[in-house]
Structure 1
């Protein structure tokens, strides 16, 4: 049992607790070098963090969060997923925190049961779960169909066309 196994168990099985310095945030997208742009509700953080990261005083603020090295080969962060972001220390002027936990469905369910899931995220979570269910339905339908348009050709190869000419047509051209 190496470190990776324990890290995977920690990432998948722990039931996290959000705090004002480590609130629930939504991932807007990857920005490279293990950095992800996240959106955080101002009401979920402390006034010090709001002053440092949100000078405009809007309801939402965005910042970059770094994925720690121990999670880089264990979890993958998708656009639209939810994370716990540790915003207590700022790494650079652009990187405002670190991703403490990538929230899985069981962990979000636990947060809802304990009343710690923000109501503002409820519609986004439902939309994300519907999108995942829709993707699995499409996969099932494509397995049943023999006339799959996605399997019609390889887009990485040059299309030469169907050569349906016969010998008679070739001789007429001469």
Structure 2
């Protein structure tokens, strides 16, 4: 079997099947990569250990921090306690949650609920800002120009900030004095 055909079958197996964990298997969350096809994982109870990626997944399927996997325990392992058997994607996770097989330790607030909470927090912040602006306008008697407000502009922190100050008596300064002023502004 060629490498491309093998990859096609592995990807089809991973993406297509809805797998339920058996008695000895467990669902864990990948919290980091340790190199050499080893990943650090945490159980729903908070226990951390290393898991290995089998050769059929190597260079074919990628996992990252935060992904969920089903693992088979390795009895003789001291540091590496399990081997990945199934990588769970969004559809797999939703299926396991519907079947009530998802561990309680991994139950998270739904993404739509988090999004609504963030929007409500932003709205509350905007309302406070508008009230503050209205109070400032009433106190000053002047209207604010949104064109003058540069607080929302992107600032490139990779570039040094140069501040040149111009004085009225520049005509009397020598070239050396100007150069000193520039170097002082840079530092």
The TM-score with structure 1 as length reference comes to 0.61
Q: What is the SS of the residue equivalent to 2:56?
A: helix
Specify the SS of the correspondent of 1:71.
coil
Consecutive aligned runs of 4 or more in structure 1 exceeding 6 Å deviation? 165-170
Residue 14 (structure 2) aligned to one of 11, 14, 18: 11
Deviation at 1:4, TM superposition (A): 1.2
Cα 1:72–1:91 shift into 2, 3 Å: farther
How many residue pairs end up in the alignment?
Answer: 136
Pick 1 or 2: higher relative contact order, CA cutoff 8 A, min separation 6.
1
Structure 1: where are the runs of 5+ without partners?
Answer: 42-58, 138-145
Note the residue ranges of structure 2 that are not aligned, 5 or more in a row.
Answer: 120-151, 179-187
Structure 2 distance, partners of 1:172, 1:27, is: 61
Cα RMSD (Å): 3.3
Counterpart residue number, 2:177: 173
2:50 equivalent to 1:64: yes
In structure 2, how many angstroms separate the alpha carbons of the residues matched to 1:170 and 1:98?
74
The Cα shift of 1:170 comes to 6.4
- Partners of 2:174 and 2:71 lie apart in 1 by 69
Residue pair 1:91, 1:97 contacting (<8 A) in 2 also = no
**What pairs with 1:110-121 in structure 2 (closer than 5 Å)?**
110-121=95-106
Are residues 61 and 171 of structure 1, via their aligned partners in 2, closer, same or farther at CA, if it must alter by over 3 Å?
closer
CA distance in 2, matches of 1:40, 1:172: 67
Once the two structures are superposed, what CA deviation does each residue of 1:111-144 show, in whole Å capped at 9, x if it has no partner?
Answer: 1122211223213xx37x57x979xx9xxxxxxx
- Are the structure 2 counterparts of residues 93 and 109 from structure 1 closer, same or farther at C-alpha, using a change threshold of 3 Å? same
Larger radius of gyration: 2
